Amino acid sequence: MLLRHTPEEVSERKALTINPAKTCQPIGAMYASLGVHGCLPHSHGSQGCCAYHRSTLTRHYKEPIPAGTSSFTEGASVFGGQANLLQAINNIFTVYNPEVVAVHTTCLSETIGDDLPQIKKKAEKEGKLPEGKYMISASTPSYAGSHVTGFASMVKSMAMMAEPTGKKNGKINVIPGWVEPADMEEIKRLTGLIGVKTILFPDTSGVLNGPLSGEYTMFPEGGTTMAELKSTGDSTGTLALGEWCSADAARELDSKHKVPCSVLDMPFGLAATDRFIDALRTLAGVTIPDEIAKERGQLVDMISDMHQYLYGKKVALVGDPDQLIAMTEFLVSLDMKPVHIVTGTPGKKFEKRIREITAEAGFEVNVKAKGDMFLLHQWIKNEPVDVLIGNSYCKYIARDEDVPYVRWGFPILDRQGHQYFPTVGYKGGLRLLEKILGVLLDRLDRDAPEEKFELVL
Amino acid sequence: MATATKEKSVQWEPADIKAKLLEKYPPKVARRRAKQIMINEAQQNETPSLTANVRTIPGIITMRGCTYAGCKGVILGPTRDIVNITHGPIGCGFYSWLTRRNQTDAGADGDNFMPYCFSTDMQEQDIIFGGEKKLAAAIQEAYDLFHPKSIAVFATCPVGLIGDDIHTVTANMKEKLGDCNVYAFSCEGYKGVSQSAGHHIANNQVFRHIVGENDEEKPGKYKINLLGEYNIGGDGFEIDRIFAKCGITCISTFSGNSTYDQFASSHTADLNAVMCHRSINYVADMMETKYGIPWIKVNFIGAKSTAKSLRKIAEYFGEKELIDKVEEVIAEEMPEVEAALADITPRTTGKTAMLFVGGSRAHHYQDLFSEMEMKTISAGYEFAHQDDYEGRQVLPNIKLDADSRNIEELEVTADEKRYKPRKSDKELAALAKKGYRFKDYDGLAPDMDKGTLIIDDLNQYEADKLVELMKPDIFCAGIKEKYSIQKLGVPMKQLHSYDSGGPYAGFKGAINFYKEIDRLVNSKVWGYMKAPWQENPQLSASYNWE
């Protein structure tokens, strides 16, 4: 047993987090920044933060993750990091020459109270931030919220770049939230099929799923351009996918520039995708093409074909709030029973939403925001499940408890595919089903006695 | 856009390469970096000629990590039965959770906390009002849940800034709990200039709080400690296999596959064998002063180096039984190594490598490459000091800067009860006369060819530039560097924490490494980068029956 010290009995812990179901804000800000075209993320703190975030994102994507750091030393920590950041900005534009530098803070620079907007002004005044180049910044203290909060803050900073011209651009802003590059690509494919012009931000497709061609460019072709970000203030409306990841940015555009916003769930599974497509339809005033209805029908078809293997199966889930809400709804719609659900990210609304979604389903749900994977494991020991869904750290629980396990979430450090194959939309729903059915049926085959082993399932 | 093509540039002048690396920098940066790039003269100087262990330049994308990573991640991470609690916001604990490939063998029911991550997950109110109470409560909760023999606490950046007195908290908890050794590491990420400061802080506290705690005599002959071996990919298991075969008793490893008790008993060994000089020489020095255990430099990376290190250990003990056994083991292990080399070297001879890793690894792994007839054309460390480049004779002439002076130096004196010289002066003189060298490390520079480039704290820009200009057949560094190099069509091997595979230490490890490098430099994939229509864009129609 790898997690051999985890007892079945759940005892209250007030101070000690064990096996966290979240990480810190800056990595979310770094991931979001990579979805802006020509953008170099920059971590304003000691260099270990940047090294850790780059390493984790690199392991997840198997792609280069460039990012700068202010490399605080003891002196900077005492006297403030302004000199380091000014020097960094100068070096970044001299050596790497990005279009944009996206600076996020860390617990170190937040604790000493560095003021990024003020440092930006100084950089502009001193000519360190060249004409025509941009610096966006987000305050991302690691001691509040989670990686999701940091992502949302940086996305909000993107929305703050909006410069309305007064003339509508006929586009819809879509804020996809923390999803994979493949998901962002899928959202663009769907909106393209429907014929809606969109500004998707951030957009990591084409950045974090690049080809191997013998060439390396620090700033690939993908990403939302600064021109697009500026134009978000002229859009017809905003669809924010995920309350935790995307709502702040959408509300910023709504309150400041009167771009009306709707906050939807992330389009994972049937019902959430239905709502997303329908919201696009009403907002853009378009007719949904048959192609989309066909994709939907295929997902419904697979659900009906394989329902017997899904019905009543218990699931444990761990991940981030927006993803878990949509996934829980999807599982309930399949007549599965998501009985244990944990996120490390705080938010009372999360537990409420999960309880609402599961209320009619007729089973007791254990749900916790600000929870950890130690607790999830204890719940599983007390009430075993048929499937476990979560990031790579779940493999230790899956092995110890011998539970079929689907990798989904962040980070995935030991399998590939998430950067290429979407799980959003109807096609994404098919892939999620394929993955869940795959582990369930593998288990059925593995455990079937010889006389009951079957070819056709 | 950088590109590296498969054709080799015929000739490169190191001075030209150096100039190219520097040309894009702002003048101040260029001046600083120039001092960290050395065209090797392969000489042993008394005064260091390369600058190292200096601040990273803000905004220059560095390979380095922080003090916390060096302390918690590298040194204490591989010890399985200590509950390591990170005191700080959640990130640091999360990122150092199972991300280094330290293997450990706890058996079926031994204590093993390595698959766990423990954190106080400090929140805003802890930053404002202080986190000491939460830390004490977290230690109590960990104790109540697990009853470990030891709990270690690691400080992250904000802890030092808000002034939490973690050492008093841990001392009080140690007293309160009674049967659990609790201590803390002030390894805030902003200290020092790299991971290296964290190694030093870890060495100090392990020495202060654990070494010497268990005087019980361990069974076995030829007792040594292996210092600076972290069991990445099972390296330590292979070294342990060889030791066992030779009859050498390894009392403790710092810190691959280690336990609390190994550290506690390490003062009962008779020799300290140091692998990674950078990360652990402090403990070796302190153990010599306090307990009288001499230390030697060894290297188990490379089959010949392994044989050499085994002979060095045997020569120290000077007993025929061990000397003969070591020769027997070498004779038994080498044929398989030689067979592997005979198979692989025709495909690797003349190929070139670059290594930018660690504080020792960029040196050690050159032995493996040279066994395969590959040439290291450029190398350097991420976090080493000048003595790691040019040898310990430069130590008296290294000028300490403010960043280094801020790291505590323990004052150590001989232990009244336990100090015991392992060799008499006469024995030491006899060994010295035969050329035996204690406490000695020549560094990387003398082992590299004249005219090669030695570069300290290489950054992403310089790495990509070096690959573009010199087109090595393989590049070795860490995870952050891997994919930008590979996008250029050059295979990349991670040598901090291996990307995959291992062990690469010892005899069997050497064979694994030869095979791995053969796989990488001769992989078909590097030939797939261009589609046929890109290789041959002209449209010249011809009928295929002509």
User: What count of CB pairs under 8 Å joins A to B?
Assistant: 274
**Same domain for A75 and A136:** yes
Inter-chain touch A48–B92, beta carbons under 8 Å: yes
**What is the nearest CA distance from A19 to chain B, expressed in angstroms?**
5
B405 tagged catalytic? no
Tell me if B302 sits within 8 A of B510, measured CB to CB. yes
Inter-chain touch A47–B56, beta carbons under 8 Å: yes
Exposure pattern of A229-238 as b/e (b: 16+ CB <10 Å)?
bbbbbbbbbb
Q: Which residues of A touch B163 (CB under 8 A)?
A: none
Is residue A364 included in any domain, yes or no? yes
Q: How far is CA A390 from CA A186, A245, A418, B413, in A?
A: 21, 18, 13, 52
Q: How buried is residue A155: exposed, middle or buried, by Cβ count under 10 Å (0-12/13-18/19+)?
A: buried
Inter-chain touch A95–B24, beta carbons under 8 Å: yes
Q: Among partner residues A62, A68, A69, which is closest to B483 by beta-carbon distance?
A: A62
Closest-CA residue in chain A for B530? A213
**Same domain for A379 and A275:** no
Q: Which residues of B touch A396 (CB under 8 A)?
A: 115
Domain endpoint, select from A266, A291, A316 = A291
Q: Among partner residues A18, A46, A89, which is closest to B118 by beta-carbon distance?
A: A18
Tell me if B484 sits within 8 A of B463, measured CB to CB. yes
B199 tagged catalytic? yes
Torsion angle in degrees (nearest 10) through CA of A422, A424, A429, A430: -30
Residue of A3, A31, A40, A52 to mutate for B, most B C-beta atoms under 10 A: A52
**What is the nearest CA distance from B261 to chain A, expressed in angstroms?**
19
**Which of the 8 DSSP states describes residue B72?**
I
Element (H, E) at A340: strand A337-343
Inter-chain touch A17–B464, beta carbons under 8 Å: no
Interface check A399 vs B, CB under 8 A: no
The parent domain of residue A233 ranges over 172-291
> Which pLDDT score, from 0 to 100, does residue B537 have?
80
Q: Which residues of A touch B535 (CB under 8 A)?
A: none
Inter-chain touch A48–B29, beta carbons under 8 Å: no
Q: Which residues of A touch B127 (CB under 8 A)?
A: 107, 111, 143
**Same domain for A336 and A312:** yes
Element (H, E) at A433: helix A425-447
Encode pLDDT of B494-536 as tens digits. 999 999 999 999 999 999 999 999 999 999 999 999 999 998 8
**Same domain for A238 and A350:** no
CA dist B478 and B458 (Å) reads 12
Inter-chain touch A64–B487, beta carbons under 8 Å: yes
B100 tagged catalytic? yes
> Which pLDDT score, from 0 to 100, does residue B46 have?
87
Q: Which has the minimum average pLDDT: A3-17, A229-243, B4-18, B104-118?
A: B4-18
Is residue A88 included in any domain, yes or no? yes
What ipTM was reported for this prediction? 0.98
Encode pLDDT of B423-442 as tens digits. 999 999 999 999 999 999 99
**Same domain for A298 and A438:** yes
- Helix axis angle for B479-487 and A47-61, nearest 10°, is 50
CA dist B116 and B81 (Å) reads 11
Q: Among partner residues B58, B119, B146, which is closest to A70 by beta-carbon distance?
A: B58
- What is the pLDDT averaged over residues B443-471? 96
Interface check A76 vs B, CB under 8 A: yes
Is the pLDDT at B4 greater than 90, yes or no? no
Q: If contacts are CB pairs under 8 Å, which of residues 337-356 in chain A contact chain B?
A: 344
Q: If contacts are CB pairs under 8 Å, which of residues 39-58 in chain A contact chain B?
A: 42, 45-49, 51-56, 58
- Per-residue 3-state assignment (H helix, E strand, C coil) for B231-244: CECCHHHHHHHHHH
CB atoms within 10 A of CB B410: 15
Is residue A439 included in any domain, yes or no? yes
Preceding amide of B255 cis, omega within 30: yes
**Same domain for A280 and A298:** no
Is residue A19 included in any domain, yes or no? no
Catalytic residue (choose from B33, B64, B80, B100) = B100
E strand segments, B428-501: 453-455, 474-477, 492-494
> Which pLDDT score, from 0 to 100, does residue B44 have?
78
Domain endpoint, select from A273, A291, A309 = A291
Catalytic residue (choose from B33, B101, B199, B364) = B199
**Same domain for A306 and A274:** no
Tell me if B375 sits within 8 A of B511, measured CB to CB. no
Interface check A151 vs B, CB under 8 A: no
CA dist B63 and A48 (Å) reads 10
Inter-chain touch A74–B406, beta carbons under 8 Å: yes
Domain endpoint, select from A261, A291, A321 = A291
Is residue A72 included in any domain, yes or no? yes
Is residue A272 included in any domain, yes or no? yes
Is residue A166 included in any domain, yes or no? no
Residue of B25, B61, B68 to mutate for A, most A C-beta atoms under 10 A: B61
Supply A307's token pair: 């329902």
Inter-chain touch B90–A20, beta carbons under 8 Å: yes
Catalytic residue (choose from B52, B69, B264, B384) = B69
**What is the nearest CA distance from B35 to chain A, expressed in angstroms?**
18
| Low-confidence stretches of chain A (pLDDT beneath 50) | none
Exposure pattern of A332-352 as b/e (b: 16+ CB <10 Å)?
bbbebbbbbbbbbbbbeebbe
Q: Which residues of B touch A85 (CB under 8 A)?
A: 58
Domains of chain B, first to last: 67-189 (3.40.50.1980)
**Same domain for A428 and A339:** yes
Q: Which residues of A touch B111 (CB under 8 A)?
A: 5
Closest-CA residue in chain B for A394? B115
Encode pLDDT of B209-263 as tens digits. 999 999 999 999 999 999 999 999 999 999 999 999 999 999 999 999 999 999 9
Supply B454's token pair: 């030695």
CA dist B30 and B20 (Å) reads 11
Catalytic residue (choose from B4, B52, B66, B250) = B66
Inter-chain touch B99–A47, beta carbons under 8 Å: no
Is the pLDDT at B1 greater than 70, yes or no? no
B477 tagged catalytic? no
Interface check A216 vs B, CB under 8 A: yes
Closest-CA residue in chain A for B2? A216
**Count of the separate structural domains present in chain A:** 3
Q: If contacts are CB pairs under 8 Å, which of residues 217-246 in chain A contact chain B?
A: 217-218
Q: Among partner residues B26, B121, B460, which is closest to A90 by beta-carbon distance?
A: B26
Residue of A57, A112, A139, A216 to mutate for B, most B C-beta atoms under 10 A: A216
Give the CATH number for residue A45. 3.40.50.1980
**Same domain for A326 and A362:** yes
**Same domain for A300 and A412:** yes
> Which pLDDT score, from 0 to 100, does residue A457 have?
94
**Same domain for A341 and A313:** yes
Is residue A10 included in any domain, yes or no? no
| pLDDT mean across residues, chain B | 95
Q: How far is CA A107 from CA B58, B165, B396, in A?
A: 18, 18, 38
Inter-chain touch B119–A17, beta carbons under 8 Å: yes
Residue bearing tokens 């001499």: B294
Inter-chain touch A77–B190, beta carbons under 8 Å: yes
Q: If contacts are CB pairs under 8 Å, which of residues 249-278 in chain A contact chain B?
A: none
Q: Among partner residues B57, B121, B479, which is closest to A55 by beta-carbon distance?
A: B479
- What is the pLDDT averaged over residues B356-384? 97
| The dihedral sign for the CA sequence B42, B44, B48, B49 | negative
**Same domain for A429 and A411:** yes
Is the pLDDT at B466 greater than 50, yes or no? yes
First to last CA, chain B: 42
3-state helix, strand, coil in chain A (%, to 5): 50, 15, 40
